[in-house]
């Protein structure tokens, strides 16, 4: 096997996830939104989603996922020397959600920061964590993808509010110990059309004002049709380029864990990559799109289902607002 890029030395020592307790299925949602179970299911594949309560912040979801990941890795908070959190729904603009998690977990005063790459965020964070581990300045990294998307949903817009849910997933990375070996990464972005998926107000361009509130500018906006076309294209390209760079073909892939956004997107990606749909792990029907949390939640469920066998090759692939994309290869 020819490898023309640098190999990662990082391993995933443990994973964990957390979902809020409230289940909002399509029938329940249709009581407050002009929609139906048939309309949502046929267009997205989503049957339900989890919604955090008013007292649960993104950091609270993240802490519970992190605790489960630490247990899975057989480690304690004292073993962590770096925290990276991927989220587009931080508790507040600053300080970072990572800093809040560091305090809530009782982790020593280690480097902690957030990154924002939307639904690609967790894979971007894995990429960043791998690079920082390779410097040998860090030994054990907590990587979290966490979102409370219900806090930025426009519940009067049935084209978007039916798609998203809340949740968190986490992974512990290290160059030492035994675990799933990260092989390589392929990330990118195209910022030429940010209005495909964005939250217009609340930043320096459109600070909070009475006008921004009345225009509902603080809610998520999306051009679903264009996002669909872009998503499939960029995920296919990133996957093919990553596999080729490491001397693999699509036939070598045993499992694909894609970003959980839309069943039709997953089906189209399967067809374009010519990887059987049966190799794709999906829990979209239960949780909807949880943005940066979707892949680590799915990874945790796939591991618990015992379908991931030692020595098998896994492909994680995502797209998100930006437009961002990322693919990761792992040997379970």
Q: Return the sign of the alpha-carbon dihedral for residues 262, 266, 267, 269.
A: positive
Q: Helix (H, G, I), strand (E, B), or coil: what is residue 150?
A: helix
**Beta bridge pairs of residue 138:** none
Tokens 């957030």 correspond to: 114
Would you give per-residue pLDDT tens digits along the chain (332 residues)? 334 466 788 999 999 999 999 999 999 999 999 999 999 999 999 999 999 999 999 999 999 999 999 999 999 999 999 999 999 999 999 999 999 999 999 999 999 999 999 999 999 999 999 999 999 999 999 999 999 999 999 999 999 999 999 999 999 999 998 999 999 999 999 999 999 999 999 999 999 999 999 999 999 999 988 999 999 999 999 999 999 999 999 999 999 999 999 999 999 999 999 999 999 999 999 999 999 999 999 999 999 999 999 999 999 999 999 999 999 999 99
For residues 146 and 22, is the Cβ–Cβ distance under 8 A? no
User: Residue ranges per domain, the chain?
Assistant: 11-179, 183-331
Q: Are 83 and 144 in contact (CB under 8 A)?
A: yes
The architecture that CATH gives domain 11-179 is 3-Layer(aba) Sandwich (3.40)
Same-fold call for 11-179 versus 183-331: yes
d(CA 124, CA 327): 9
Q: Which residues contact 102 (CB under 8 A, 6 or more apart)?
A: 83, 109, 110, 112
R_g over Cα of the chain: 19
For residues 8 and 31, give the distance between their C-alpha atoms in angstroms, rounded to a whole number. Answer: 49
Catalytic site positions: 119, 259, 289
DSSP code for 289: B
**Class for domain 183-331, per CATH?**
alpha beta
- Specify the residue for token string 């390209």: 237
């Amino acid at each position: 096997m020819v490898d023309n890029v640098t190999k990662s030395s990082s391993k995933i020592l443990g994973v964990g996830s957390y979902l809020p307790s409230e289940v909002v299925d399509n029938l329940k949602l249709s009581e407050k939104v002009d929609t139906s179970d048939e309309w949502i299911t046929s267009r997205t594949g989503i049957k339900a989603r989890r919604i955090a309560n008013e007292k649960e912040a993104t950091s609270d979801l993240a802490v519970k996922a992190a605790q489960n990941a630490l247990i899975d890795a057989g480690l304690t908070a004292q073993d962590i020397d770096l925290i990276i959190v991927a989220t587009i729904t931080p508790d507040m603009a600053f300080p970072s959600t990572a800093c809040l998690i560091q305090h809530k977990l009782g982790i020593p005063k280690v480097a902690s920061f957030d990154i924002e790459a939307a639904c690609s965020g967790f894979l971007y964070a894995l990429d960043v964590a791998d690079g920082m581990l390779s410097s040998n300045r860090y030994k054990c990294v907590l990587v979290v993808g966490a979102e409370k998307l219900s806090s930025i949903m426009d519940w009067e817009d049935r084209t978007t509010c039916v798609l998203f849910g809340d949740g968190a997933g986490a992974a512990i990375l290290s160059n030492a110990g035994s675990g799933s070996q990260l092989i390589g990464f392929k990330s990118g972005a195209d910022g030429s059309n940010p209005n495909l998926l964005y939250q217009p107000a609340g930043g320096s361009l459109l600070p909070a004002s009475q006008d921004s509130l009345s225009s509902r500018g603080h809610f998520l906006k999306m051009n679903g049709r264009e996002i669909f076309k872009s998503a499939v294209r960029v995920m296919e390209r990133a996957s093919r380029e990553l596999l080729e760079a490491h001397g693999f073909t699509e036939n070598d892939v045993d499992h694909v864990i894609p970003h959980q956004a839309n069943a039709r997107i997953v089906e189209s990606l399967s067809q374009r990559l010519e990887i059987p749909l049966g190799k794709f792990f999906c829990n979209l029907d239960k949780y909807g799109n949880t943005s940066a949390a979707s892949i680590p939640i799915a990874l945790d469920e796939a591991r618990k289902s015992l379908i991931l066998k030692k020595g098998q090759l896994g492909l994680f692939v995502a797209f998100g607002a930006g437009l961002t994309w990322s693919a990761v290869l792992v040997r379970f």
